[in-house]
Structure 1
Amino acid sequence: MAATIVFIPCWESGHFMSMIAAGKRMLDAGGGALSLTVLVMRAPTAAKASEVDDHVRREAASGLDISFRNLPTVEQPTGCVAPEEFNFRYTQLHAPHVEEAIAGLASPVAALVVDLFCTPLLDVAAEAELAVPRYVYFASTGAFLALMLRLPAFREDLTARLRGTEGAVHVPGLPPVPLPYMPACLSRNKIGNYEWFEDYGCRFMGASGIVINSSVELERGVLAAIADGRCVPGRPAPAVYAIGPVLWFSALEQPHACVRWLDAQPPASVVFLCFGSKGFIDKEQVGEVAAGLERSGHRFLWVLRGPPAAGSSHPTDADLDELLPEGFLTRTQGRGLVWPAWAPQKEVLAHPAVGGFVTHCGWNSTLESLWFGVPMVPWPLYAEQHLNAFELVRVMGVAVQLKNMEVSEVEPFVEAAELEQAVRGLMGETEEGRKAREKAADMKAACRKAVTEGGSSYIALRKLMSEISSGGGGTASVTG
């Protein structure tokens, strides 16, 4: 009987789908010798639970050797001070159900892989007396991984300074990171989260390895710093398997309206604005964006969402008459499209008419943009996106800076003139923009080379599967 790899993903769509896509890659690299069993926790909100159910139905029908098992519902913890405290405790409550599910599997277990936010469940394998390797799937950047591993050493100095905007943090493998570029989930008046991210980072050190959605070509410096032991001095880091970019694509039954509009635009002439599944800006900020786009003179496709419904973190379909300045759609007719609902981001970024991307810097969105060679204007909103923006501008050079965050407020209000200037640069009117376009083209080639035969991510993935097949796990290295 073929052995199975047990996956425990987080319920957030960006994490869930990234991990499933990585699992498919692992199955392919394993040559059919292994299957994949996904243990699904019930998401804590009805909206997120519905999203996960949709993902599961779609993937279960894919025909691949993947089985999904829903874990019993648990009572949600109360009295949590910080969001990550809730996530941590909620995940931890699933431990006995995970142990029971694993014990009930008909197939022998070859490995356990948990999402970075599910590391409280890493101990289940030991408690169930499973002598199998245990891995963390890290759906973010090597920079954020290096920072999380380093958090215990930063605690005394950093927590007192995170509320400010002056000074810099020395993340191994990166240039000094100005405080405003530190992840919003650690600072931005969310100091209560720090200890939970610190705990996650400490738990990573007990894993057999860390599978990360990045590549040596994208983040050579920070991945080398982790392997060299510069993040946790005196302790060997687990092996890091950089297998990215991990992307997933869903075939559309027919071209989306946004794609059809792009078909009529000249090559590389459109700037695309989209702020992710949780991205929302208020009416005052919408007015500044509209004015900036209008003054720039460039063609644009703007995915504009409305405010979330009560009790939800996800935007609704926008009322354009309510949000947009009077006459904006008329004045920009023919060179701009404002789309008020979900749009197929990958298909848009893949379109030859798109020449730039104003993005919230979610890592999945960033990888999609790099995959298609589209330069960016970073507009980080939450989570680790500020640190991602720093990498895009200061390390990779694939982005035009929207605002000098080294001297700005932590969550800057973007004025029309700032957006106009950034869009003009992004579309090639400045030397900075032209260099970003060249770098983005280079990154497109590097991303695709990494995952093809002989590339760094290709090699890392096969080494990972070899380790799993042999029941082992590496230490202190970056494969690829």
Structure 2
Amino acid sequence: MEKTELVFIPSPGLSHLISTVETAKLLLDRDNRHRLSITVLITKLPNDTTVASYIEKFSSAASSSSHLRFVNLPGDEEEAAKTGGTPSKTFTFDLIDRQSTNIREIVSDLVKQPRTSRMGALVLDMFCTKFVEIADEFGIPAYVFFTSGACSLGVLSHLVSLKLDRGEDLTRYKGSDTAMAVPSFSLPVPAKILPAVMVEGGPMADVFMNYFSRLKDMKGIMVNTFYELESYAVDSLRSGGKSQTPKIYPIGPILNSGGGGGDDDKRIKSEEIKKWLDEQPENSVVFLCFGTMGSFEESQVREIAAALEKSGKRFLWSLRKPGVKGSKIMFPTEYESFEEVLPEGFLERTEGIGRVTGWAPQVAVLSHPAVGGFVSHCGWNSTLESVWYGVPVATFPMYAEQQLNAFQLVKELGMAEEIRINYKIDFRGDSPPEIVGAADIEAAIRRLMAAEEEEGGGGVRRKVKEMQSKSRAALLEGGSSYEALSLFIEDIIKDAV
């Protein structure tokens, strides 16, 4: 049978790759007539071993591997070395753009291969929209896989329209106390939670504006969300007409089913954490974890520690050491000893009710019945995982669109407790970080872990449990995401060249 080939191009880094691979798996599983094959092109970041580990683990376990292959794009060590120890602000995006020649050659080879297959589409990450030019060159449809939610997509599209269609200077919103009407939100959106990169001006703002301005040139956009979670935003995107927004396919929630890492140290740590959680009562543990880039300076760590101790709640805390400032990609590392950053005697005083760890298997932790709350940076993957497993969130956003996600959860949906909504970390150290006090963190944790309104909570647990059921129904036959994914597959087959 003639195959239809999809080529996925994710951004560098593990989180975007995981979402891409899980989407590819879902497509192959749904295609019960075995009409699809998928190639994933991978651009690696310097010194990032997590991607190779993930692919190795996935490839050894994948049942659909004959229809899903990975191609590592050539590295660019020579160009990367030119920056020496001083990273360019656009380093990652320059790395993506320099792959144009390699991607063009791969697509050309696929187009020329024997006619046992047809090119279905390029499926581009939201930071790889430049490659729509390659799709156009070969007459191939191009889609975007948007790894964040529909509300964020609406905000970014609105900011692009303000600048390019209305000529607005977006820097007017930097640090502003105003709120703006955005079609994808029912409530006015505070300017302070807009993605910093879009309103601060400079080369990074130009890069992002270039990427997101190309969204309108796509055949369609797959969004990692489900209609019931973001119905207002999805409806607003669809009502704009194709001249404003391409066809929208809300196909989520796309989750990481494999847990990410695969080395022996992580496996051992996962087993130790599971054993500890097995000993805790149901819904009694608050889990603190802040994503791939999540780490805090010592002063903030001490405030979090004080809040946990004063709350008296059981906790599991994934505590990572900030990466080396000035490195190209500032990945967190592990502490040799937590005592170098925690208040003196903290570990002894909380022994028995709390556990501090480095890396933690987030999916496995959230799925454990002992976990009843999640202090999170509100990355979109983490947000969807919290909904899927029915664990309410206390919001502690850090960067990117996480402030928008926090606002959506707390204000728009009433599904989370607020620690902060507009907290931001400056990874480059150009400005001192805000310190969130222990009292605010403690109060949010107490509200989060309360059973329901009568115990001091805000009713978020009930709302999250309701949305959990809807998230699972969306992926079942007849569900909203099931139907959206089926429509995407049929559109791809119909338009293949």
TM-score, normalised by the number of residues in structure 2: 0.87
Q: CA deviation at 1:52?
A: 2.2
Check conservation: 1:208, 1:472, Cα contact below 8 A. Answer: no
**Cα deviation per residue 1:419-443 (whole Å; 9 max; x = unaligned)?**
1100111011773734111111011
Structure 1, unpaired ranges of 5+: 474-480
- Of 281-290 and 157-166, more deviation after overlay is shown by 157-166
1:422 aligns with 2:444: yes
Q: 1:478 aligns to what? A: none
Question: Is it true that 1:167 corresponds to 2:178 in the alignment?
Answer: yes
Could you tell me which residue of structure 1 aligns to residue 305 of structure 2?
Answer: 290
1:13 pairs with 2:14? yes
Distance 1:201 1:342 in 2: 33
Q: Distance in 1 between matches of 2:129 and 2:59?
A: 25
Structure 1 residues 368-393: Cα deviation after superposition (integer angstroms, max 9, x where no partner): 11101111101001111111100010
Quote the offset at 1:148 in angstroms.
1.7
Percent identical: 38
Residue pairs, 1:272-311, within 5 angstroms: 272-309=287-324, 311=327
SS in 2 for 1:196: helix
C-alpha separation between the residues in 2 aligned to 1:200 and 1:375? Answer: 33
Identify the residue that residue 28 of structure 1 maps to in structure 2. Answer: 29
Gap change, CA 1:59 and 1:191, over 3 Å in 2 = same
User: Aligned partners of 2:147 and 2:87: how far apart in 1?
Assistant: 21
> Residue 323 and residue 84 in structure 1: after superposition, are their counterparts in 2 closer, same or farther (change >3 A)?
closer
Corresponding residue for 2:121?
A: 111
SS state at 1:400 partner = strand
Q: What letter is aligned with 2:460?
A: A
Deviation at 1:46, TM superposition (A): 2.1
- Pick from 245, 254, 257 the counterpart of residue 237 of structure 1: 245
Deviation at 1:250, TM superposition (A): 1.9
The answer to whether residue 467 in structure 2 is matched with residue 459 in structure 1 is no
* 1:313/1:114 CA distance change after superposition, 3 Å: same
From 55, 66, 69, the counterpart of 1:67: 69
Match of 1:195 in 2: 206
Deviation at 1:236, TM superposition (A): 4.2
Structure 2: distance between partners of 1:367 and 1:166? 29
C-alpha displacement at 1:191, in angstroms?
Answer: 5.0
Check the 8 A contact 1:91/1:121 in 2, yes or no: no
Moved more, 23-32 or 271-280: 23-32
Shift of 1:472: 7.0
Match status 1:347 vs 2:364: yes
1:151 counterpart residue number: 159
Q: Is the 8 A contact 1:400 1:426 kept in 2?
A: yes
Deviation at 1:124, TM superposition (A): 0.5
* 1:477 aligned partner: none
2:111 counterpart of 1:97: no
Unpaired segments ≥5 residues, structure 2: 424-430
Counting only pairs closer than 5 Å after superposition, residues 394-473 of structure 1 correspond to structure 2 as 394-403=411-420, 405=422, 412-428=434-450, 431=453, 433-471=457-495
Aligned-residue RMSD, C-alpha: 2.5
Return the alpha-carbon distance in structure 1 between the equivalents of residues 352 and 147 of structure 2: 39
Q: Which moved more, 1:313-322 or 1:64-73?
A: 64-73
Q: Is the 8 A contact 1:143 1:171 kept in 2?
A: no
1 CA distance for matches of 2:354 and 2:322?
22
Letter in 2 for 1:33: R
Amino acid across the alignment from 2:25: K
Shift in Å, 1:403: 3.6
Which residue of the partner structure matches residue 427 of structure 2? none
Asked if 2 retains the 8 angstrom alpha-carbon contact of 1:18 and 1:247, the reply is yes
Contact 1:91/1:120 (CA < 8 Å) preserved in 2?
Answer: no
Alpha-carbon offset, residue 92 of structure 1 = 2.4
Shift of 1:210: 0.4
Structure 1: which amino acid aligns with 2:124? V
Aligned to 1:379: 396
Name the residue aligned to 2:217: 206
Distance 1:466 1:430, change over 3 A: closer
Write out aligned runs for 1:214-363 (5 A).
214-229=225-240, 235-250=243-258, 256-309=271-324, 311=327, 312-318=329-335, 319-339=337-357, 341-363=358-380
Pair 370,460 (structure 1): closer, same or farther in 2 beyond 3 Å: same
Q: Is the CA contact (8 Å cut-off) linking 2:256 and 2:363 kept in structure 1?
A: no
With over 3 angstroms needed to count, the CA separation of the structure-2 counterparts of 1:94 and 1:395, relative to structure 1, is same
Give the whole-Å Cα distance in 2 for the aligned partners of 1:228 and 1:412.
39
Measured at CA, do residues 83 and 452 of structure 1 come closer, stay the same or move farther in structure 2, by a change above 3 Å? Answer: farther
